[in-house]
Chain A
């Protein structure tokens, strides 16, 4: 590896030299000139792992393309993360369980057919059905009749291809009945899985997946496998966010370093993320074209609460002590090179319901108090903890840093427990065979604190890898789900977050950031809290 790191130095040195010459030649790139509404730009992407169907994009490669091809009932305003109506004119409910949706007229699919209530109902029924093998099929779990199209494992084949909770009233109206109140169901509706589908989809979904027809701001042009997916602006787009450019080319890269080199030399217009080896120099290289802003995601380390070691009321003190021993500020600045922001809660900032300092004292670096708490809680079993992580994700450096922090400040022995790749680590985590502590990461599905709390820490929640279970937390989240307004929901979930601060089932470490940049050919490039550029806003310089 010595050779590789030397190469980085050479590259870094040259990059700095280049940046220096660029500066001396007088910065004219910052002036925002006239934009070419017909021009298209390229974006760093990866090959979609599934056919392009709205409920079949879990990874960003396909997800970002789907996001531009489709618009659902609502989406999130990129400026503030708030819900915004798109195809929906209004979504009404009195009890958070029975919804009536009214659609705007004038929306069309890219093949010219109108977007109707039927387009939504058919789409959701199809996507939820187990036999259609959509990775996001369980997003429809709240809707009444879901069990008929998506029976639990080993409970046989679907008995129906329609969910009883969805009823079309007329072309512009349909009703949604849920099995239980979910006060923030509208937030879920902003996810791409809830997109409408045109009639042509149902004739041959597989063929459709190769050349999709959506209703979003961009229409599909071509998909050259492993090379690029090209989209063009749709001139009859009826949404509020009309594209300011002529199209997007999603260019495939297998190595982020290669994409970065292309960006620096203006062969790529918008970057996804700066690769770790260029993090130190990218602000120098790109000047005011560098992007550094928070993103709706969090990295934590979660305790294997199912191990006897972590049970008992006193152990919460030990966990809080360990958290206090971690010097988040220094690690984010040095090891992570500013690519993360120290966390002080379990919910990322920018998300509705984020409460600054929810973690309180426990997330503030305080070695003396840390030792005290660990001693008060009866110490760490065997005086040793391990942190399980996957070695193929670039986590080694920070895991080692966290361990060093714990070891130096508390005297507790701490070592990383690397597993060769993501799949292997996941097998152990899913099988609840983690000895001590595991890496845990969460990226928002929708910008609401419920998504960061109930889906990870609720008893029986699908992502509750620690098997944490608190009646108090569950009670609050149940109340929150049945609340009458979003504000009430977020407030109750904030109270639930306070329970986490008490029990400390996971130590919040830091929030994600978007470290990116754009070329000299484009301007007005902004990023939303998902870490995606606001594609429709990008302007191509004339």
Chain B
């Protein structure tokens, strides 16, 4: 187990360097001149334009810009945005908001997704199963922006239960509505994955054995059936957490949440290489850690899986 973890950690290094380089160069090939864009429809002053480009090292060849950036990164300096703020400040403002939102959405999809999946799996073919099927079908087929606007209008403007947009991005209560919208699609997937897995495993030999040896139904379901059925669900959840952390640009926009999605969208629009890469660095770490945890969880869930 220890060696497996060590090997995985070592593998992260090339992945990490590769993704940062890739993103850095990709931002660079985005069309347009980000310093020129500061002047909008007006014409820039050539001397000032040159001076500003020099300030942001944009007058250097690309590889040199990357070397400069990586040099800073290893000393803990994430660079500056075009507005002269430290990228690390931008990240540390946006990250906690998104972590809150993502964890809430994640919690919602786990609790309700697995519960629904379990229910319809156990009652397969019955009314509960059919209605779950319809519900998840609806959730999967409605695009997130539509769901966002509809919820916002119904709960925010019509019923006035919540404010239509998030006024304080750190307030968990206000984040509830965006979290539900954000979690709803994955909730449907989790429910369906769980159901399929349960239906498959319920006919497995070890379940029949467990029932035959007279274990209580509750124990059969929780420790034997559910645990073994979780593997595909966990795989999905692991990648989904990474996706949630990467920010939900659409949902954050609709509800005016000042999280990673918003910041990243803005940075890509402005072609701020340092900011985009800074966020990606953090996200890659989150993603790699999540997938490592998923792999380790396999062994916990299924005793047949061993890592050496």
CB of B232 within 8 Å of the partner chain: no
With A48-B83, A225-B93, A227-B169 in contact, do A7 and B150 touch (Cβ < 8 Å)?
Answer: yes
CB of A400 within 8 Å of the partner chain: no
With A134-B48, A152-B46, A426-B37 in contact, do A267 and B157 touch (Cβ < 8 Å)?
Answer: no
State whether A258 touches B256 (Cβ < 8 A): yes
Cβ proximity bits A119-156 to B, threshold 8 Å, 1 near / 0 not = 00000000000110111011000000000001111110
Cβ proximity bits B52-71 to A, threshold 8 Å, 1 near / 0 not = 10010000000000000000
CB of A443 within 8 Å of the partner chain: yes
CB of A265 within 8 Å of the partner chain: yes
State whether B41 touches A443 (Cβ < 8 A): yes
CB of A389 within 8 Å of the partner chain: no
With A265-B160, A423-B34 in contact, do A138 and B85 touch (Cβ < 8 Å)?
Answer: no
CB of A37 within 8 Å of the partner chain: no
CB of B43 within 8 Å of the partner chain: yes
- Residues on the B chain within 8 Å of A253, using CB: 256
State whether A267 touches B167 (Cβ < 8 A): yes
CB of B271 within 8 Å of the partner chain: yes
Least distance between B259 CB and chain A CB atoms (Å): 10
CB of A200 within 8 Å of the partner chain: no
Nearest-CB residue, chain A, relative to B49: A153
CB of B195 within 8 Å of the partner chain: no
Which one of A7, A50, A261, A262 lies within 8 Å of B146 (CB-CB)? A7
Q: Which of A253, A421, A426, A427: most chain B CB closer than 10 A?
A: A426
CB of B76 within 8 Å of the partner chain: no
**Which residues between 18 and 58 of chain B lie within 8 Å of chain A, taking CB atoms?**
31-34, 36-52, 55
Instruction: Provide the bound-state CA to CA distance between A419 and B265, in Å.
Output: 19
State whether B52 touches A151 (Cβ < 8 A): no
Least distance between B289 CB and chain A CB atoms (Å): 26
Cβ proximity bits A22-59 to B, threshold 8 Å, 1 near / 0 not = 00000000000000000000000001111100000011
Give the interface segment out of A10-18, A191-199, A359-367, A503-511. A10-18
Least distance between B188 CB and chain A CB atoms (Å): 16
State whether B253 touches A254 (Cβ < 8 A): yes
Instruction: Provide the bound-state CA to CA distance between A259 and B256, in Å.
Output: 8
Q: Kindly state the interface size class of chain B when it binds its partner.
A: 35 or more
Nearest-CB residue, chain A, relative to B84: A51
Instruction: Provide the bound-state CA to CA distance between A3 and B145, in Å.
Output: 8
Number of A-B contacts (CB under 8 A): 162
Least distance between A455 CB and chain B CB atoms (Å): 9
Which one of B40, B142, B152 lies within 8 Å of A59 (CB-CB)? B40
CB of A430 within 8 Å of the partner chain: yes
Instruction: Provide the bound-state CA to CA distance between A202 and B168, in Å.
Output: 35
Instruction: Provide the bound-state CA to CA distance between A484 and B46, in Å.
Output: 32
- Residues on the B chain within 8 Å of A79, using CB: none
With A153-B50, A265-B156, A423-B33 in contact, do A135 and B169 touch (Cβ < 8 Å)?
Answer: no
State whether B48 touches A422 (Cβ < 8 A): no
Least distance between B137 CB and chain A CB atoms (Å): 16
- Residues on the A chain within 8 Å of B45, using CB: 137-138, 150, 462
CB of B266 within 8 Å of the partner chain: yes
Cβ proximity bits A412-440 to B, threshold 8 Å, 1 near / 0 not = 00000001111110110010000000000
- Residues on the A chain within 8 Å of B164, using CB: 258, 261-262, 264-265, 267
State whether A135 touches B39 (Cβ < 8 A): yes
Nearest-CB residue, chain B, relative to A439: B41
CB of B77 within 8 Å of the partner chain: no
State whether B253 touches A11 (Cβ < 8 A): no
Least distance between A132 CB and chain B CB atoms (Å): 9
State whether B153 touches A14 (Cβ < 8 A): yes
Instruction: Provide the bound-state CA to CA distance between A427 and B32, in Å.
Output: 6
Instruction: Provide the bound-state CA to CA distance between A450 and B85, in Å.
Output: 37
- Residues on the B chain within 8 Å of A382, using CB: none
Instruction: Provide the bound-state CA to CA distance between A441 and B160, in Å.
Output: 40
Q: Kindly state the interface size class of chain A when it binds its partner.
A: 35 or more
Least distance between B54 CB and chain A CB atoms (Å): 9
- Residues on the A chain within 8 Å of B163, using CB: 262, 265, 267
- Residues on the A chain within 8 Å of B297, using CB: none
- Residues on the B chain within 8 Å of A203, using CB: none
CB of A226 within 8 Å of the partner chain: yes
State whether A152 touches B256 (Cβ < 8 A): no
CB of A442 within 8 Å of the partner chain: yes
State whether B262 touches A254 (Cβ < 8 A): yes
Instruction: Provide the bound-state CA to CA distance between A211 and B266, in Å.
Output: 23
- Residues on the B chain within 8 Å of A4, using CB: 143, 145-146
With A10-B150, A267-B163 in contact, do A225 and B89 touch (Cβ < 8 Å)?
Answer: yes
With A58-B38, A150-B47, A226-B93 in contact, do A49 and B82 touch (Cβ < 8 Å)?
Answer: yes
State whether A133 touches B48 (Cβ < 8 A): yes
State whether A11 touches B153 (Cβ < 8 A): yes
State whether A426 touches B32 (Cβ < 8 A): yes
CB of B149 within 8 Å of the partner chain: yes
CB of B90 within 8 Å of the partner chain: yes
State whether A49 touches B32 (Cβ < 8 A): no
State whether B152 touches A442 (Cβ < 8 A): no
State whether B149 touches A255 (Cβ < 8 A): no
State whether B83 touches A50 (Cβ < 8 A): yes
Nearest-CB residue, chain A, relative to B41: A441
State whether A58 touches B42 (Cβ < 8 A): yes
CB of A350 within 8 Å of the partner chain: no
State whether A254 touches B47 (Cβ < 8 A): no
Instruction: Provide the bound-state CA to CA distance between A59 and B165, in Å.
Output: 25
- Residues on the A chain within 8 Å of B146, using CB: 3-4, 6-7
State whether B33 touches A262 (Cβ < 8 A): no
Which one of A15, A58, A225 lies within 8 Å of B40 (CB-CB)? A58
Which one of B43, B83, B93, B94 lies within 8 Å of A49 (CB-CB)? B83
State whether B37 touches A130 (Cβ < 8 A): no
Cβ proximity bits A235-272 to B, threshold 8 Å, 1 near / 0 not = 00000000000000000111101110110110100000
Nearest-CB residue, chain B, relative to A442: B41
State whether A209 touches B84 (Cβ < 8 A): yes
Could you name 14 residue pairs across A and B whose Cβ atoms are closer than 8 Å? A4-B146, A7-B145, A131-B51, A133-B55, A150-B45, A150-B47, A151-B47, A209-B84, A253-B256, A258-B164, A258-B256, A261-B153, A423-B34, A426-B36
**Told that A10-B153, A225-B85, A463-B41 touch, could you supply 10 new A-B pairs with CB distance under 8 A?**
A4-B145, A7-B145, A11-B149, A133-B51, A153-B46, A225-B89, A261-B164, A262-B256, A422-B32, A423-B33
Those 9 A-B pairs whose CB atoms lie nearest each other, nearest first: A423-B32, A462-B43, A138-B45, A7-B149, A424-B31, A261-B164, A153-B46, A258-B256, A3-B143
